[in-house]
Amino acid sequence: MIPVRGYAGAKVAVLGLGRSGLSAARALRAGHAEVLAWDDSETARDTAVAEGFAIVDLARAGAFDGVAALIVSPGIPHLYPVPNRVIAAAQEAGVPVDNDIGLFFRSLATDDWDGFDVTPKVIAVTGSNGKSTTSALIHHVLTEAGRAAQLAGNIGRGVLDIDPPEDSGVVVLELSSYQTDLARALTPDVAVFTNLSPDHLDRHGGLGGYFAAKRRLFAEGGPDRAVIGVDEAEGRYLAGQMAEGPNDDRVIRISVDRKLSGFGWSVFARKGFLSEYRHGRQVGSIDLREVKGLPGSHNHQNACAAYAACRTLGLAPRVIEAGFHSYAGLPHRSQRVAEKDGVIFVNDSKATNVDSALKALLAFDNIRWICGGLEKDGGLGGLAPGLAHVRRAYVIGREAAQFAIGLGAVDTEVCTTMSEAVARAVRDAEPGDVVLLAPAAASFDQYDNFEKRGEDFMAQVHAQLGLGA
């Protein structure tokens, strides 16, 4: 645990008692703060009471009298589409609002660090797509190289639940826009921006607000090194803001669209080969085509970001390459779950928006595509470049028929349920085909989350193929 510093003897309110909220409450108590906890869920309140926390209705009049700060869980809106009533009351009372990420950065360093030979580092990863894979890949490479590393944030453990890092230790954080938007302290040593595509627009008041939330990690965090994907206009803008000029090697530009050789430091992938350039010279390369855990251009972008981050810590290219080859991939992200009679089955349930689903479609040929669910704003037009790879689409979800219409000329079958979609895909599949779950939609019309959807896909595949659980 990372005990929270700076609130000893003070009253601190915690709103939302899920994983991050309870973690923050425990860490605040460990730092000798007086915690006032609240959640609209009675079950969540009972859990907090069982751990000895005082429950206070933060919506009642006078609840913020004498309170030093309000700590908010990431799922609770603080500005758009409308502020939560408790947050609005805190703001009206002039009480600072923060989250567990802000508490983490203000509390991580301790006096013990003065005795370390090598100061611990924090690598923070954000972006629309690929941040989970990039974070996990960085952590895996570091661990395989013998570095003490911990994975936390939006993946792995809660940020305040990790162990205090040891001499030369590394903390790898995946940070969502919900987390970067509100944190009052953001001070990573290395910050990574993968890419940007429209998502969570209601929560951020549009695309500009969404990008602004990501940008805070860099503009307000002031990292020693910034690894920035420049395949979108926003990334190029951010790199330009962070760098003093093209030769400033504090900014490492990454791309899977073009060769980047005219900068101080860059990493790019073309036709399956990753290249590292410094001041016009190639200094490293990796053949990614045989890295089974990182299929497709989108994963090559993740590889470029992870490679660059690891290079900032002094790892040699061949050490990083070895880590790539032993990386098995994350569940529900281009996860190969079965192969039978020349047909491969891939679970990419995390492809919850059009951009991430397009990347999955472009990674394979001869696709039997299972898609559909709760369609997000913007329509399905962005999928067009990948539809030539699709032999047939099997559409699930409560609005499956409407979703199928949005796919235009693609050969579709309206299946509604996962079991029917998998059964029909298995029926039709031929050697060389890939049965791909890449929904291009949220899961909430049929499942609690994308993980449950992916688990159902895997269960249905195993059942259809007679592979057992």
Annotated binding site for ATP: 127-133
What residue type is assigned to position 204 of the chain? Answer: H
For residues 264-288, one letter each, b for 16 or more C-beta atoms within 10 angstroms of the residue's C-beta and e for the rest, the string is bbbbbbeeeebbbbbeeeeebebeb
Asked if residue 38 lies in contact with residue 60, where contact means CB atoms within 8 angstroms, the answer is no
SS3 of 442, please? strand
Would you list which residues are annotated within the binding site? 127-133
Phi, psi at residue 42, to the nearest 5°?
A: -65, -35
Q: Give Cβ neighbours of residue 308 (< 8 Å, ≥ 6 apart).
A: 192, 227, 252, 254, 265, 267, 276
Asked if residue 429 lies in contact with residue 392, where contact means CB atoms within 8 angstroms, the answer is no
Asked if residue 109 lies in contact with residue 132, where contact means CB atoms within 8 angstroms, the answer is no
Residue 246 structure tokens: 């093209």
Q: Give Cβ neighbours of residue 114 (< 8 Å, ≥ 6 apart).
A: none
What residue type is assigned to position 447 of the chain? Answer: Y
The overall longest dimension of the chain from CA atoms, in Å, is 68
